[in-house]
Amino acid sequence: MSGSRIPAAVCAVLLAGGVTIGEQPRPARKAAPRPAAERDVLPFHAVEKTLPNGLKVIVVPTGFPNIVSLQIPVQTGSRNEVEPGKSGFAHFFEHMMFRGTKAYPSEKYNEVITQAGARQNAYTTNDYTNYHTTFAKDDLETVLKIEADRFKNLDYSQEGFKTEARAVLGEYNKNSANPLVKIEEVQHDKAFTTHTYKHTTMGFIKDIEDMPNQFDYSRTFFEHWYRPENTTVIVAGDVEPQRVIPLVEKYWGDWKPGHYRVDIPREPEPAAAVYAHVPWPIPTLPWVTIAFHGPAFSDTAKDYAALDLLLDLYFGETSDTYKRLVEQEQKVDALFSDNEGHVDPSLTGVYARLKKMDDALSVRDEILKTFAEARSRPVAAKRLSDAKSNARYALVKSLDNTETIADTLAGFVRYHRSFDTLNNFYRVYDTLTPDDLLAAARRYFTDNRLVETTLSKDPMPAPVSTLPSLAAFAPRSASAEKAEVPIVLQKTALPQINFKLLFAVGSQRDPAGKEGLAALSGAMIAEAGSKEMRIDEINRALYPMAGSFGDLVDKEMTTFTGSIHRDNWKPFLEIVLPQLSDPGFREDDFQRLKDSQSNALKEDLRSNNEEELAKERLQTNLFAGTPYAHPALGTVAGIQAITLDDVKRF
């Protein structure tokens, strides 16, 4: 395939927020100052009501037709598990809530959900449990009715209780086979001495093993926490508030409130840095994580939002550290930050997966050096402005369907049971200055707050367990040609443009002995830059506009997907299209992506994902002797045999 043009056989699917690619920008005109409400990141007009029993109701018409998403966040998570021997019950109750009631036993309940064609699940976090169902709007009353019934009248037998307890133990064992899950468990156990964040949502293993004996306590837990004053009913989608609220009142209004309260133990100020190592029983790539005791989430104070932007600026894909460790030196094939919001102060930090154990100390020190740099000087005003822009545009980009909108809301409503929390938080972003970020870095990135956790099969180099002072890392002072492309256009109320370029070629075209060539070729287009710009330069250019361009290769098709706010479509295309029409094809990018693809096959699929591995094995058996037999990622030997010239020819 020629690298100088996009073939006419490509089909573009475009989801546009009120603008097409060919539309010319309107002349600029001077705008009057907008009211504060126009700066809200959520463009929806919600209706909120608190019922007499304390239940909060939030109704959000999203403008998307026919679909409704019901989200029910309950303000109980592993944080609430203060009684000794009772950790893990918030997550356990997520399971029990599907056991049914006298009116709707689990079989009948599931039959109603299935007949409605609903998509349903639940999840538990440290601070809350969320139950979510997405369905056709005609089934709204039915779903509200059966959900109210299980929240008010949950009923289960001792036998059913014990069955679910054994399932939770199985889930713990399955999750513990994931290195990241185990790192978090050990990290929190080591970091916290008093607060209930010491244990994860699954709970301590000894408590999980004892759950079958806790039938009586399970009813106590339900009576304590599953009460209307702890719960919000979010109804989003193709809805009318004047119809929804009476339905919620009809089915939920007689739910009796409770009066149980508990004092969560306060974690004392950390006295010194701590280190923990997780020995892994089977071969896996090593991990190094650096975290600090950080602040609680706030939609009014600045510290949490400031750390959120700091981690993005110093460890995100546009940062110097990411460029150095992932793209240039290629010591790390995964580098990401974690600053999940919590009701109480928790951990904030960075995870790095190493290609070689020998680099553990240098990578650890590079991360510490970056934190020390964040403490030493304010970020550039332009960089901070770009980070704010990215945060706002990235959120808008994600709100492309009712279910995502409702789920995003649930993640913020759960703090104060208020629709305004998310908008308030983004207003805090807008107020941040370089000095605010510097103050937060100096307050939280300190020696006594440091938590280092590592994971590997073989022992880590000895110096990794010795924690140096951040002061040791403080910086020293120093002076295409056009093609006919069929376009399908779908309008939405959102100002986000999404387009897909579909090529009718996938892993079935991989040459024998070079399985994985289609996937690697796609990655070299989307993740290796153009001749004009390296990938780090592209990431920096796209960062303030929160633009994205990625690839997906399956058996028969390669898809390139772009997403950009309509404010920025023209500069976005000027940056991205040369990746397709004039790829960079640099040797260092080729080696980086080749290693990453090999690791994804060996580590993420073969070693750490038994379910997906079984699916690939089944396909291999079914399609043996055909081009469909191997995974889209390829084979270990095939990936190793691929050369850069192979990619260029493909």
Going by C-alpha positions, the residue among 230, 243, 278 that lies closest to residue 73 is 230
Per-residue model confidence (pLDDT) at position 14:
40
Per-residue model confidence (pLDDT) at position 624:
84
How much of the chain, in percent, has pLDDT values that exceed 90? 77
What is the reported pTM? 0.83
Torsion angle (degrees, nearest 10) of CA 455, 461, 463, 465: 20
Bigger pLDDT: 517 or 33? Answer: 517
C-alpha pair distances (Å), 154 with each of 92, 104, 217, 341? 14, 9, 15, 30
How much of the chain, in percent, has pLDDT values that exceed 70? 91
Q: In the predicted model, what is the mean pLDDT of residues 574-589?
A: 94
Is the predicted pLDDT of residue 480 greater than 60, yes or no? no
Least confident of 6-15, 236-245, 255-264, 612-621: 6-15
**How does residue 486 score in pLDDT terms, banded at 50, 70 and 90?**
low
C-alpha pair distances (Å), 238 with each of 60, 403, 628? 9, 11, 41
**What does the mean pLDDT of the chain come to?**
90
Per-residue model confidence (pLDDT) at position 484:
60
Least confident of 186-200, 494-508, 534-548: 494-508
Could you tell me the end-to-end alpha-carbon distance of the chain, in angstroms, rounded to an integer? 6
As a whole number of angstroms, the distance between CA 348 and CA 337 comes to 8
Which segments of 228-273 are extended strands (E)?
232-237
Q: Which tokens belong to 208?
A: 């999980």
Least confident of 102-106, 560-564, 572-576, 613-617: 613-617
Strand partners, 292: 348, 450
Which segments of 316-434 are extended strands (E)?
332-338, 347-354
Determine the CATH number of domain 11-18+495-649: 3.30.830.10
pLDDT for 17-61, tens place per residue? 433 333 333 334 333 333 335 678 998 999 999 999 999 999 999
Identify the burial level of 173 via C-beta atoms within 10 angstroms of its C-beta, where 0-12 means exposed, 13-18 middle and 19 or more buried.
exposed
Is the predicted pLDDT of residue 134 greater than 80, yes or no? yes
Per-residue model confidence (pLDDT) at position 613:
76
Identify the burial level of 252 via C-beta atoms within 10 angstroms of its C-beta, where 0-12 means exposed, 13-18 middle and 19 or more buried.
buried
**How does residue 477 score in pLDDT terms, banded at 50, 70 and 90?**
low
Per-residue model confidence (pLDDT) at position 485:
63
Q: Residue written as tokens 């713990």? A: 172
Q: In the predicted model, what is the mean pLDDT of residues 581-600?
A: 93
Q: In the predicted model, what is the mean pLDDT of residues 590-599?
A: 93
What is the helix, strand, coil percentage profile of the chain, to 5?
45, 20, 35
Going by C-alpha positions, the residue among 585, 632, 564, 577 that lies closest to residue 17 is 564
Per-residue model confidence (pLDDT) at position 4:
38
CA angle 211, 215, 221 (to 5 degrees): 90
As a whole number of angstroms, the distance between CA 550 and CA 528 comes to 11
Q: In the predicted model, what is the mean pLDDT of residues 438-458?
A: 97
pLDDT for 191-229, tens place per residue? 999 999 999 999 999 999 999 999 999 899 999 999 999
As a whole number of angstroms, the distance between CA 248 and CA 546 comes to 38
CATH class of 47-252: alpha beta
Provide the b/e sequence for 483-515 (b: ≥16 CB within 10 Å): eeeeeeeeebebbbbbbbbbbebbbbebeeebb
**How does residue 622 score in pLDDT terms, banded at 50, 70 and 90?**
confident
Per-residue model confidence (pLDDT) at position 54:
97
Which one of 3.40.50.300, 3.90.1150.10, 3.90.1300.10, 3.30.830.10 gives the CATH number of domain 274-401+419-473?
3.30.830.10
* Domain spans of the chain, in order of start: 11-18+495-649, 47-252, 274-401+419-473
Per CATH, 11-18+495-649 and 274-401+419-473 having the same topology is answered: yes
Q: In the predicted model, what is the mean pLDDT of residues 532-552?
A: 94
Is the predicted pLDDT of residue 16 greater than 50, yes or no? no
Q: In the predicted model, what is the mean pLDDT of residues 279-299?
A: 97
Per-residue model confidence (pLDDT) at position 36:
38
Per-residue model confidence (pLDDT) at position 602:
84
